[in-house]
Structures are given as C-alpha cells and as structure tokens.
Chain A
Amino acid sequence: MHQPTNIQELQDIVRTSQHIRVCGAGTKPALSDGATLGTSGMSGILEYEPSEYTFTALAGTPLSEIRDALAKNGQLFPFDPPFVEAGATLGGTTASGLSGPGRFRYGGIRDFILGVKMVTGEGRAVFGGGKVVKNAAGFDIPKLVTGSLGRLGVLVELTFKVFPTPETWTTIRADFSGIQVGNAAMIKLAMAQEELQCLDLEPSGRLWLRLGGLSAAVASRVDRVRNLLLQAESNVKIETLSGNDDAQLWSDVREFRWVPENHQLIKLPVSPAQVVQAESLLTTVSFENIRRYSVGGNVLWLAVPETVGRDEVDRLCQQLGRPALALTGSWSDPQRGPRQGQAFADRLLKVFDPDSRLNFVPTA
C-alpha cells in the first residue's frame, strides 16, 4: 500500500496508478477494503487558533488527536463524529460523510467543513473553500467531497469550524410503553424550544435526550423536558444521567459498541415520519436486526448479521425510498438504494476523475 508523506508524492502516485482506493484508519472496512493508498503519512494539525473557532489538519490525522487539542481549549467537534476511539481519521470521516448523535443541535459534518485541499483523479492539486468561518467565493467543493467516498479525489488537508464545549452535560432517559408513543414524544421534543444536543430513539420506545449548557440552568431545563415527556405519557419512567455515566453512554453510541460481533453496520437516512413504518418493516423481515434511530429520527442505524446481503438491503431501501451506506462487512458497492442527482454528479465526476481511477472497488 502506498503511504505518501506529502502532496507531491501523492500526486505522483495518483498520476502513475491505474486505480486508487484510499484508506484512513480502516474503521469502516466496507468503504476501504482492498485499499491501495494509506494516509497515515499525512497526519497532524497544521493550524489551530481557538479564538477563530477553526482548525486545519491533514487528512490522516486521527480524530482523537484533534478532539484532545480542542478539549484543551474548551472546544469540540459540533458534528460529533463517530469512531473516534476506534481511531477514525479526519479524511475518512469526511469522505464517508459521517456525523454522530450530537449533530442534532447544530448540524452535520457537511455543515462544519470550510475548506479542502485534495488531489483529483488526474493528479491535480485543487483547493476549494476557505479557512475562515464564512466564505461565499468559488464553488463549494468542500461540501461536495463530504460523503463522496473517495470518488472525487484523495483528501489531503481539511479546515473545519468548531464550537465551545458546553460547561456541563446531562442525559435524560425516558422509557415509553412502545415505539408509537416514543416516536410521538421524539417528534414533540424535536419541535420544542429545549435546544437538545442529542435525541435518539430505540425500538422499545426508549428515548434518549441530551442537554448541554451552563450548570446553573441544568436543573430547571431538565424539569421542563421531564414535564414535556410526562405530557406524552403520564406514567413514563424517567431517569437522568450525568458525569461519567452520561459521557460513557454517548461514547458507546457514537462508537457503535452496541453492534454485536459478526454484524455489519448500515446507515439509512430517514425522516421522523418514517420511523413507525420502518419499525413495522424491520420487525417482520426474515433477518435478525438491531437498530437505533438517531438525530431525532433522521437516521436509522441498522446492524444485521454478515449473512444478510445486498438484496435484502436493496429491498429495504426500496420500501423506504431511501439510500443506504454500509460501513462494515464486505460489499462490492457499499452505497445502496436510489441515487439522486446522478446526472449532475456524473458531469462533475468527469472533471474530478476523467479516467475513473478513483475508488476502485475490488471485485468480490
């Protein structure tokens, strides 16, 4: 596997290779199996000025390194990226377009990326976006590469916007009697003025709500949320978690520690209105599955045994009318379901990668 240490080396490799498939730390093997190029030689934070709310780092930089640097200055990734403990890199997370449960409050990774330096399929170095928090010049290439799965270029350097970390966190767990009432409560809380950081729902009807802010306001804010939950179901069981319990809980969620061995993890964007439909589908399918609705019912995380193949996933996509992305397991093409805007994407792709060198997928 090639391990370039600078952009010139990378350009040379791309220009002289027939196929390039990039791997960061390999935390999402469905997206990187059979990689020909690694980014560990291009790692490190290049610029971080806390008072700017921005940092620039090389694509191979582990998220944990950036998280620690941010934490020392009381800041965090507002999009709450997954697989941080597992070793995920900034570039891999960007290319796979992943955000965690905390994206509920302010937005996902596409909302916080500001700039990108990359090498296209022709071996050209291209810079898009900027390094300041606000910029409307040029085409928004940084957004375009978010979620592009390495098809548009090899990411080299990325600039992101960050935010201050709330002084304190508290999580509320509410056990509703079932998915219907749990989902209704979730929708109600998503519309309310409570400024929740996370809003996740489990199929049992268990709702998780996370608050962040000043300690002086926490107790009264928790009370307000509790009242809203009790209005949704008068005998709902409510507990609060704080400190380490709160931190551990959300770490387990974003690291997907709830996914059992020999299961593959699939992301399905959905809408809150689809949760009940998805539940009725997934409780009647022939294969075992474990799932979690995150971001106020905007994403369904699905864990299915490795024996479940693309036909089953494609059918599910079709029934829900949504695309899916497999993150683990072995897939000839991890992107499933409908692909919208292909006519637009194809035209852009011709410029980024005219010879189709990028993201060569090994044949199974």
Chain B
Amino acid sequence: MSSESANAASHNVAAFFAELSRIYQADRILTNNAQLAPYESDGLTCFRARPCGVVLPETQQEVIDTVKLCHRFEIPFIARGSGTSLSGGAVPIENGLVIAMNRLNRILRYDAQQRVAVVEPGVINLKVSQHVAGDQLYYAPDPSSGPVCTIGGNVAFNSGGAHCLKYGMTSNHVLGIKAVLPDGQVVELGSDSLESVGPDLTGMFIGSEGLFGVALEVTLRLLPKPEKYYTLQAAYDSLEKAGNAVAMVVASGLLPGAMEIMDRLSMDAAEAASAAGYPKDAKAILIVELEGTTDEVDAEMPLLHGVIEESGAYTVEAARDDEHRLKIWKGRKSAFSAVGRLSPDFIVQDGVVPRTKLAEALGEIERLSQEYGIRVANVFHAGDGNLHPLVMFDGREEGALHKAEELSGEIIRLCIRLGGSITGEHGVGLEKRMYLGEMYGEDDIEFMHRLQGAVDPQELANRGKKLPAATAPALLTRGAHPLEKQGVIFRD
C-alpha cells in the first residue's frame, strides 16, 4: 500500500468511526485493545484476528444503520452472537467491524396457540425453550452449546444437535427471517405459517454463515414437548458392534429421537471430568432415546430392548428418571471439553458419512490414528452418521499442530470419499474452506462465489468465511475455549 492510500484508508476509518459515534454512545463502541481482545477469537481458538472495533447495538435500527455505514465506507463486518462457533465462523475480519448482537435479546412475540415465537438474534437458544415450557412446548434444535449460543448464530450456521435424525437442523425450525442485506436493504423472508409460496428464501439464508447479511428477527417453530423420554445406554465390547446396533435399530422401523456413540477414549475423558459411571471395560457405548406419547414409548420399549439385546450389548442401563437421563446426556455433551483432561489441545472434526459406512469410517480413523501416532477419541451422532473425531495433540510440541491438522484433513477427505459431507453442523467457517472444493466441483464453488457476489458485491459481510480462496488469519495454537475450560460451553 502506498503511503498516500494508507493515509486515505486511515482517514476513511476515522470518518467511519465519527459516523458510528452518531449511532452509538461512547460506551457502546469498543476500540481499545483490552476491549477488543475477547472478540478476537471464537470456539475454535486457533484463529485470531483484530477487528478495528466492536459495536454493541440495542435496536434493529442500529444494526441496519451500522450495516449501511459499513457499506458506505466499505468496511467489512461480522455479526457475532456468543462466539461459540467451532469452525472459526465468528472470528472477526482483520480491521473489520464486529457487530455484537447479544443485546438484541428480546422475545418479540410468543403465540402458544400458533406454536411460534419471534425472537431477536441475540436470544440464547435454551432461553426459547425455557420461555415456552409453561405451555409444554419447546424449540427442538439443541446444540451442546445451547445454554450460551444465540439464535442468530444458530441461523447463520444451521446448527444441529443430538436430535437431528428425527427433527432436522435449525433450518427445519425457522419459518421466517427479517434480515438486513450487506448493503443495508431490509428484507422479510418467509412468514409465521408452516407453509409458503415461492422459492424458500428463508432456507437459503440459513447456513449462509453471515455472507448474506444479518438476521434481525427470527420466527421459530415450536413443538409440543414429548410427553415421555426413554433413554438407554448400552455397552459393547467393540465399536463395530455399537455401530451395527444403530443399523439394527433403524432396520426395526423405530425412529428414535437420538442415537449417540462414544468410544473408550471419550468415555475415559468424560469419566475424568464428571464421574459419569460408564462400564470400565466397555469399548463403546450407545445411547438411544425414544420419545413421544407415553403409550407409544411404552409400546416401543420392548422392541428396542429386543434389538439391543440381539446386537450383542453386554450391559444395558435405562434412565430411571429425569435426573438419571440428564446425567447420561451430561456425560455425552461434556465429552469434548472433557477431552481437555487427556490432552492439552485437540481438533474436533464434524464430517458426515452415510450410516452404512460408519464401521468403515471408524476403522479407517483408527488406522490413521495409529499411522500418525496421534490419539483420536470418537464421539458421534450415530443416527445421522455425523462423526466428531477429536484429534489430540500438544501444541507446545514442535510440529504437533501441523501433524494433527494433516490427520484431520485425511479424516475430512475420508468422509468425502465415502459419499458424505465435510460438515454436519459446525459449518465451514474458516477452518474447512479448503475442503469445500473437494466435496463440490470447481464449477459449483465458482457458482457459490457468484451467489455471494450477487448478494454482496463488495464482500463486506463476513468476508473470508465459508468459501475457499480467501486469505485466512494466522493460525495460532489450539486449545479449549476459556468458557469451555470452565465447563460453561460444550461442543457437540
């Protein structure tokens, strides 16, 4: 950059901040280093970037005005919720603006009879279910970060959770979105009806990882809470047997709400963290959860037990009550952060394979783990083939991160080769951009770039995420998120 253009750029930034200060009082514009530090990273702590500032809007109009201003001054921006992204999706753009959405946390409308809630994007995922619990309703998507992650972030990344097999992901539970496009234009997509006419623009906006703009209001579909849950935990002497059990449950015609598998290493981790009480000699445990009306679940229980017995489980434990059920889930949901007890650093992957290829994929991961001499723990949503291998390493060892990255890459490619996906629910973010082009063809990637270009010609909105061929911020060391270390957030 010539000194002349550098001067012009800094003049531009100064003018931009002068305009911002007409929108925000001084205490809602953060610019000094100490204030910016918490916003430099997200749940994937190896990526960091320094934004030029952070604004804390309290109204939709402030967000709209901010986006318009960014457009006018050509300042790239990212809207951020709680920053729990596991793919680097909420990492700021170097010298760009962070629009922190957490104060837009109002539930604007709740209609129990219509089973919808209209919320602002800063509303916490779990708060929605808590808000509507009195009417025996709930919001189905349950990412493990549910107690802290926001609906806006869920929308941007089409977040999943443990119950996707039966109920789908975030996009299956959002009926409408009011959003501001990257040039400040406001659009209303969808409505409060379950049905619609015309292309599904709401569906297209969801999972666009912030590239299409910022959600201002989200209309959520609520479901009646299942009357009864029946959760069982079966122990196996091999991972393969647990995988086969999943296929047998599916073949039986049952449609469980969730099916999860943990391998020995992840059980050890969970045990170290929360004394979950897993069988000491088990090589894998399978968690299956039935849910529905009491009558239906009661009728399904013997069927499920028959299948599990036949599958060669050597101990089967059913949740005695709600408390026991929550304990089983807590063990599962905390497995990732618990891995921090076994290894100073780890990479979590999110690939998907066809369910019939689960055993093959796990066998291959095991082989790769031995070949690389790197421990890999496996915790996964077995019902939908969504793997979460945890690749463990010590960032203080020379070259360890690089080697772990390499192994992770091989696992992602394995998922592509088996006909699956590079990400089931964490999104592409910064982390998996280079693999997108291996999952899709070159033409498809180019087409996606054109779509981005049509919506946001200047590439201001969350520039550098999701699509390949953009410069990435520096890769630093890996490690648990500070909140994760405290056990506040969990990874799925």
CB within 8 Å of B: which residues of A?
Answer: 49-54, 74, 97, 99, 103, 106-108, 110-111, 120, 124-128, 130-141, 143-149, 151-152, 163-165, 167, 187, 190-195, 213-214, 216-217, 220-221, 224, 267, 269-273, 295-296, 298-299, 322-325, 335, 337, 339-345, 347-348, 350-351
Contact of A335 with B198 at beta-carbon distance under 8 Å, contacts A128-B444, A217-B298 already known? yes
- Which among B112, B168, B441 has the greatest number of chain A C-beta atoms within 10 A? B168
Could you give 28 example pairs across A and B, Cβ below 8 Å? Answer: A51-B356, A52-B354, A52-B356, A74-B253, A106-B166, A127-B441, A132-B353, A134-B352, A134-B386, A134-B421, A135-B352, A139-B204, A140-B171, A144-B200, A149-B198, A149-B199, A164-B254, A191-B224, A193-B224, A193-B226, A195-B296, A217-B299, A269-B193, A299-B194, A322-B193, A340-B191, A347-B454, A350-B454
Task: Please give, as numbers and ranges, the residues of chain A lying within 8 Å of B440 by CB-CB distance.
Answer: 127, 137-138
Chain B, Cβ-Cβ closest to A346 = B454
Inter-chain CA distance A175–B291, complex, in Å, is 31
Interface check B293, CB cutoff 8 A: yes
Q: Contact check, A97 vs B448: say whether CB atoms are below 8 A apart.
A: no
Chain B min CB distance to A325 (Å): 4
Task: Please give, as numbers and ranges, the residues of chain B lying within 8 Å of A134 by CB-CB distance.
Answer: 160, 164, 169, 352, 381, 384-386, 421, 424-425
Task: Please give, as numbers and ranges, the residues of chain A lying within 8 Å of B199 by CB-CB distance.
Answer: 144-149, 151-152, 345, 348
Q: Contact check, A191 vs B195: say whether CB atoms are below 8 A apart.
A: no
Inter-chain CA distance A193–B420, complex, in Å, is 35
Q: Contact check, A269 vs B427: say whether CB atoms are below 8 A apart.
A: no
Q: Contact check, A124 vs B421: say whether CB atoms are below 8 A apart.
A: no
Chain B, Cβ-Cβ closest to A49 = B356
Q: Contact check, B422 vs A221: say whether CB atoms are below 8 A apart.
A: no
Interface check B240, CB cutoff 8 A: no
Chain A, Cβ-Cβ closest to B185 = A343
Task: Please give, as numbers and ranges, the residues of chain B lying within 8 Å of A111 by CB-CB distance.
Answer: 168, 172
Chain A, Cβ-Cβ closest to B208 = A139
User: Which chain B residues in 195-232 approach chain A with CB under 8 Å?
Assistant: 195-208, 212, 224-227
User: Which chain B residues in 429-458 approach chain A with CB under 8 Å?
Assistant: 432, 436, 439-441, 443-444, 447-448, 450-451, 453-455
Interface check B122, CB cutoff 8 A: no
Inter-chain CA distance A140–B204, complex, in Å, is 5
Interface check B428, CB cutoff 8 A: yes
Interface check B292, CB cutoff 8 A: yes
Task: Please give, as numbers and ranges, the residues of chain B lying within 8 Å of A49 by CB-CB distance.
Answer: 354, 356
Chain B min CB distance to A274 (Å): 9
Q: Contact check, A220 vs B295: say whether CB atoms are below 8 A apart.
A: yes
- Give the interface residue-count category, chain B: 35 or more
Interface check B419, CB cutoff 8 A: yes
Inter-chain CA distance A339–B426, complex, in Å, is 32
Interface check B389, CB cutoff 8 A: no
Inter-chain CA distance A191–B298, complex, in Å, is 22
Chain B, Cβ-Cβ closest to A272 = B114
Task: Please give, as numbers and ranges, the residues of chain A lying within 8 Å of B381 by CB-CB distance.
Answer: 134
CB within 8 Å of A: which residues of B?
Answer: 111-116, 135-137, 157-158, 160, 164-169, 171-172, 179, 181, 185, 187-208, 212, 224-227, 247, 250-251, 253-255, 292-293, 295-296, 298-300, 303, 350, 352-356, 381, 384-386, 419-428, 432, 436, 439-441, 443-444, 447-448, 450-451, 453-455
Q: Contact check, B423 vs A137: say whether CB atoms are below 8 A apart.
A: yes
Task: Please give, as numbers and ranges, the residues of chain B lying within 8 Å of A270 by CB-CB distance.
Answer: 193
Q: Contact check, A221 vs B295: say whether CB atoms are below 8 A apart.
A: yes
Q: Contact check, A193 vs B448: say whether CB atoms are below 8 A apart.
A: no
Q: Contact check, A343 vs B181: say whether CB atoms are below 8 A apart.
A: yes
Inter-chain CA distance A2–B169, complex, in Å, is 38
Inter-chain CA distance A351–B199, complex, in Å, is 15
Q: Contact check, B201 vs A345: say whether CB atoms are below 8 A apart.
A: yes
Q: Contact check, B225 vs A193: say whether CB atoms are below 8 A apart.
A: yes
Chain B, Cβ-Cβ closest to A323 = B197
Inter-chain CA distance A130–B440, complex, in Å, is 9
Chain B min CB distance to A132 (Å): 5
Task: Please give, as numbers and ranges, the residues of chain B lying within 8 Å of A52 by CB-CB distance.
Answer: 354-356
Q: Contact check, B203 vs A146: say whether CB atoms are below 8 A apart.
A: yes
Q: Contact check, A97 vs B197: say whether CB atoms are below 8 A apart.
A: yes
Task: Please give, as numbers and ranges, the residues of chain A lying within 8 Å of B355 by CB-CB distance.
Answer: 51-53, 133
Chain B, Cβ-Cβ closest to A164 = B253
Inter-chain CA distance A220–B440, complex, in Å, is 50
Task: Tell which of B111, B165, B423 touches A136, judged by Cβ atoms closer than 8 Å.
Answer: B423
Task: Tell which of A51, A125, A144, A325 touches B203, judged by Cβ atoms closer than 8 Å.
Answer: A144
Inter-chain CA distance A347–B189, complex, in Å, is 14
Task: Tell which of A103, A138, A267, A340 touches B448, judged by Cβ atoms closer than 8 Å.
Answer: A138
Inter-chain CA distance A125–B189, complex, in Å, is 27
Task: Please give, as numbers and ranges, the residues of chain A lying within 8 Å of B455 by CB-CB distance.
Answer: 344, 347-348
Closest 4 interchain pairs by CB?
A143-B203, A269-B195, A148-B199, A298-B194
Inter-chain CA distance A139–B115, complex, in Å, is 28
- Which among A106, A136, A139, A323 has the greatest number of chain B C-beta atoms within 10 A? A136
Q: Contact check, B354 vs A340: say whether CB atoms are below 8 A apart.
A: no
Inter-chain CA distance A110–B381, complex, in Å, is 23
Inter-chain CA distance A273–B109, complex, in Å, is 14
Task: Please give, as numbers and ranges, the residues of chain B lying within 8 Å of A220 by CB-CB distance.
Answer: 295
Q: Contact check, B195 vs A130: say whether CB atoms are below 8 A apart.
A: no
Chain A min CB distance to B246 (Å): 9
Inter-chain CA distance A224–B353, complex, in Å, is 41
Chain A, Cβ-Cβ closest to B355 = A52
Task: Tell which of B179, B195, B451 touches A351, judged by Cβ atoms closer than 8 Å.
Answer: B451
Task: Please give, as numbers and ranges, the residues of chain B lying within 8 Å of A147 by CB-CB distance.
Answer: 196-200
Chain B min CB distance to A30 (Å): 12
Q: Contact check, B187 vs A343: say whether CB atoms are below 8 A apart.
A: yes
Contact of A164 with B443 at beta-carbon distance under 8 Å, contacts A130-B420, A133-B385, A136-B424 already known? no
Q: Contact check, A97 vs B196: say whether CB atoms are below 8 A apart.
A: yes
Q: Contact check, A138 vs B420: say whether CB atoms are below 8 A apart.
A: no
Contact of A195 with B293 at beta-carbon distance under 8 Å, contacts A190-B115, A344-B212 already known? yes
Task: Please give, as numbers and ranges, the residues of chain B lying within 8 Å of A322 by CB-CB distance.
Answer: 191, 193
